[in-house]
Structure 1
Amino acid sequence: METKKNTTLREGFLVKRGHLVHNWKPRWFVLVPDKLLYYKYDGGKRDSCQRGKILLKDCEITSPFLDYENRPLVIKLRTKNGVDHFLEACSREERDDWAGDISAATEKLRGAEGVKGPDLQTATTTGPQLHDINLIKVLESMYDVHSGIKMGSHLDHGSLYSNCFSGSAVVDWLVFSQLALTRVEALTLASALQEESFLWPVGLKSVEALRTAGLTEHFMDDSTALYSFSDSLKKRGSVKAETSMSAVELSGKVIKRGYLLKQGHRRKNWKVRLFVLRSEPAYLHYYDPTKDDISPVGGFSLRACLVSSLGDNGVPSGVKGNIQGNLFKIITQEDTHYFIQAPTEQQKMDWIEAIRQHT
C-alpha cells in the first residue's frame, strides 16, 4: 500500500465528499510537496490509477470545519480556482496532523514565491482578541439553533446524556466561528463561559475536572468531557442520563481509532471501516465511514479473543481474493473470524498490540 515516491510527506485513508453526488467515499491520500493525490481501493488494494489530485499552490485550509453535524473531523480545502474539497479524518489527532502537514506544504510553496501569509484558518490574524469578546454575544451565538453548537447524545460511564456536547466540540466551534484564533485562546474563552455558569459540566470527567483543577484551567479540550448550557437558559432540551445495557459496550474509554480494511462475512468483499477500540469494557467496534449514522455497523467483546498476524507469503486460508500484506485475524469467544488489513506493517503491529492488551 505504501507509495515508493521519495517525496511523500504523508499518506493514509481519508473519507472524501463527492463533487456532483455529495456522498462520502474512503480514498487513499498521498501528500507530496505540491499536491494531494488520492486513489480508490478495490479488493483491499490501492488502484494504480490515480483518481484525482488537489493542487496546493494558493490553497486555503479550514480546520476544523464544522458544517457537517455528524462529521466533526472534516478538513476543507479550497483551491486557487475556488473548488472546495472536504476530507474527513478518523480522529482529531489525525485531522490536525493532516491539516498541519498540508498547511506546511502550502506555506513552503508560498515561501518559494517570496510571499508570506498564513494558510490554515486556525492561524489567521483576523478575528477579535479575547479581551474584546462579549461573553453574552458568544453565548447567544453558541445557542443559535441554526449556526450554534450542535447538541446531541453522549455516553459517559454507561450513562447516556442527551442535549449536550463535548469540550473539544466547544473549542472546535469557537475556532471555526472565528471567536478565537487558536485552541489555547478558545480554551480560555470556554473557561470564562464556565466561570460565569453559562456552561455546566455533565458527567464524571468534566465534573471532576471542575472540582480539582485550577481556576483558569478547569474547562477540558477533550472529546470525552461533556458540557451543557445552563438551566437558566431554558435550553432546547433537557440533559438526561439514561442507563442502557446496549450503551454499556460503547461507554468505555477510546484507546485507538483508525481506518482499516475488513473482509465481509457473507460476500467476502473488502471495505474500509473506521475501527474504534475501547476499554472498560473492552470492545472493538467498526463504523461505515460513508454513512452519517453515528452508530457502529458491528462490533464484539474482546474478552477471550485471539488475535494473530497473518504471513505475507501467499494468500492466507480464509481470505478471499488476491489479498496479501499487513493482514491479521481476530477470533472471538463465539468463534467468529474477522480478517483485517492495515495500511502498513507498523500499523498492523500497533493494532495487534493494542488489542492484545485488552483481551
Structure 2
Amino acid sequence: MEPNIIREGYLVKKGTVLNSWKVVWVVLADDAIEFFKKKTDSSPKGMIPLKEAVLTNPCQDFSKRTLVFKVTTEKKQDHFFQATHLEEREAWVKDIKRAITCLQGGKKFARKSTRRSIRLPESVNLSELYVLMKDQDTGIKEMKLEKDKKLFNHCFTGDTVIDWLISQGKARNRSEGVMLATGLLNEGYLQPAGELSKAAVESSAESAFLDQPDALYYFAESGFFCEGYSSDEDVLVKEEFRGAIVKQGCLMKQGHRRKNWKVRKFILRDDPAYIHYYDPTKGEEDPLGSIHLRGSVVTAVDYVPDAKRHDIEGNLFEIITSDEIHYYLQAATAEERNDWIKAIQVVSKSGK
C-alpha cells in the first residue's frame, strides 16, 4: 500500500495575493497539495485540491525564473512552485501528474507499473541494473555534453546506454536494450536531460527511451545540471565555481550573528572543494556565502549551542572548517542528513 503522503520537501512558492516568492514546506498527498510556513507547523498555510487540476511544466510565465511548474485548480486558480534544481522539479512533477491521473480514474495513488506497460520479464531487477550502470569503473561514464548553446553536465547519450546494456550482456539486441532503458526511465532511475529526450517521454509512444546520439539522459541521483552560454562571450568563472556539482538541495542553516534558522539552497562542488549557499527565492548569481571544505570535518550532532529547542528538532549536522569556523545545518530527514555528510566528507578529502 502506498502511504497517503507521497512526497514532501522545500519548494519556493509564489504568493496568491502578493507577488512575493517564499520558501514553504510542501506535502503532496494523493488528493491535494498542502504547504506550510515551516516544516514544524501543525496546520497548513494553504491547500490545493488536485481533483480536475492541471499541471503545467515547464512553466515559462516568469522570464527570470527557471524550474517553475504551475498547478491550476478546477476553479482556475494558479499556484506557482519553483524547485532548486532540475532533478527535484522532475521528481515533484512526475508524482503530481500521477496523483492527478489516479484521481481522474478513481484509483488509489500508485506509481506507474513499468512491467505492465512495457512487458519487462519478471527476472529483471531494475534497481540492481541501475547500481551496475552507476559503477565508476565499469558503468556508464558521465560526461559534459554541448547542445543548442547549452552545457549538460554529468549526463550521457541514449545510444551510449544501449551500447552499455549490450556490451554487459544485459540485452541481446538494441530493441531489447530500448525496452530495458524505457523501464529504467519509467521507474525514475534515468531522467531526460534535453528537449529531444523530454519530448519522447511526454509522447504516448510505448518506448519512451531514444537510442540516439542527440538524446541526452542523466542518473536520478547525480550532480546533473545544465547551464546556458553564448559562444560569442568568454566568461571568466571564479576558481571556486569551477568544480563539478556533486550535490544540491535545501537545508536549514543557523545564522552566525542572530543565530536564527533559515532555509538555504546549498550547492556542493568538488575540485576545488566548496559548498555555496543561496537564498532559494532568488537566483544563483550571488551566493550569500561559501565554505571552503578542504580539510574540514563534518559530523552529525544532537544539539546546537545558542539554539532554542522549538526552533529546530533532529537531523542536525556540523561543518568545522580548517580555520575553526563552525556551521550548523539541519536536513529534513535522517537519510538526507547522512547523504549530505557522506558527500561532504568525500569532497573535503579529495577536493583541493
Please classify the TM superposition score into its range, dividing by the shorter chain length.
Answer: 0.5 to 0.7
Task: Give 2:337's aligned amino acid.
Answer: K
Identify which of 35, 38, 42 aligns with 2:35. 38
CA contact (8 A) 2:304 2:328 kept: no
Deviation at 1:92, TM superposition (A): 1.2
Query: For 2:269, what is the secondary structure of its paired residue?
Result: strand
2:106 is aligned, of 107, 112, 115, to 112
CA contact (8 A) 2:197 2:217 kept: no
Instruction: Write the mapping of 1:195-344 to structure 2, written as runs, cut at 5 A.
Output: 216-218=212-214, 220=216, 224=225, 239-244=232-237, 247-292=238-283, 294-311=285-302, 315-322=303-310, 323-344=312-333
**Which secondary structure does the structure 1 equivalent of 2:57 belong to?**
strand
Q: 1:273 and 1:106 mapped to 2: Cα distance?
A: 30
Q: In structure 2, do the counterparts of structure 1 residues 171 and 277 end up closer, same or farther at CA, with 3 Å as the change threshold?
A: closer
CA RMSD of aligned residues (A): 3.3
Indicate conservation of the 8 Å contact 1:12/1:30, yes or no: yes
User: What amino acid maps onto 2:240 in structure 1?
Assistant: E
Cα shift at 1:226: 5.9
CA contact (8 A) 1:286 1:299 kept: yes
Say yes or no: does 1:94 pair with 2:92. no
Amino acid paired to 1:33: D
Task: Using the TM superposition, name which of 266-275 and 284-293 deviates more.
Answer: 284-293
Structure 1: gaps (5+ residues): 114-156, 158-162, 186-190, 192-213, 229-236
Work out the CA distance in 2 between the residues paired with 1:69 and 1:175. Answer: 23
Q: Give 1:241's aligned amino acid.
A: D
Structure 2: which 5+ residue stretches go unaligned?
108-143, 154-191, 205-209, 219-223
Q: 1:71 pairs with 65, 70, 76, which one?
A: 65
Output the CA distance in 1 between the equivalents of 2:196 and 2:65.
Answer: 17
TM (norm. structure 2) is 0.66
**Is the Cα–Cα contact under 8 Å of residues 86 and 225 in structure 2 kept in the other structure?**
no
The alpha carbon displacement at 1:294 in A equals 3.0
The amino acid of 2:213's aligned partner reads E
- Shift of the 10–21 alpha-carbon distance from structure 1 to 2, 3 Å rule, reads same
Residue 193 of structure 2 contacts residue 216 of structure 2 at CA under 8 Å; is this kept in 1? no
Structure 1 CA distance for aligned equivalents of residues 51 and 89 of structure 2: 20
State the Cα distance separating 1:249 from its structure 2 match. Answer: 0.8
Fraction of identical pairs, as percent: 38
Contact 2:318 2:327 in 1 (8 A): yes
The Cα of 1:66 is off from its aligned counterpart by 2.9
Structure 1 partner of 2:20? 23
- Give the number of aligned pairs: 261
* Distance verdict in 2 for CA 1:97–1:251, change over 3 Å: same
User: For residues 304 and 320 of structure 1, do their structure 2 counterparts lie closer, same or farther at Cα, with a shift above 3 Å needed?
Assistant: farther
Amino acid at match of 2:234: A
* Highest RCO, 1 vs 2 (Cα 8 Å, sep ≥ 6): 1
Shift in alpha-carbon separation, 1:164–1:296, aligned structure 2, 3 A: farther
1:38-57 correspondence to structure 2 within 5 Å = 38-41=35-38, 45-57=39-51
Separation in structure 1 between the aligned mates of residue 293 and residue 203 of structure 2, nearest angstrom: 37
Q: Which amino acid aligns with 2:74?
A: K
Distance 1:258-1:85 versus aligned 2 partners, 3 A rule: same
Work out the CA distance in 2 between the residues paired with 1:256 and 1:300.
14
Residues 69 and 335 of structure 1: CA distance in aligned 2, closer, same or farther (over 3 Å) = farther
Q: Measure how far apart 1:49 and its partner are.
A: 2.1
Q: CA deviation at 1:164?
A: 5.1
Write the distance in 2 (CA, Å) between the matches of 1:31 and 1:226.
Answer: 29
Q: CA deviation at 1:316?
A: 3.3
* Matched letter for residue 252 of structure 1: G
Aligned to 2:177: none
Query: 1:47 Cα shift?
Result: 1.4
State the TM-score, normalized to the length of structure 1: 0.65
Residues 63 and 327 (structure 1), Cα distance of their counterparts in 2 relative to 1, 3 Å cut = same
Which residue of the other structure, out of 327, 347, 352, is the alignment partner of 1:358? 347
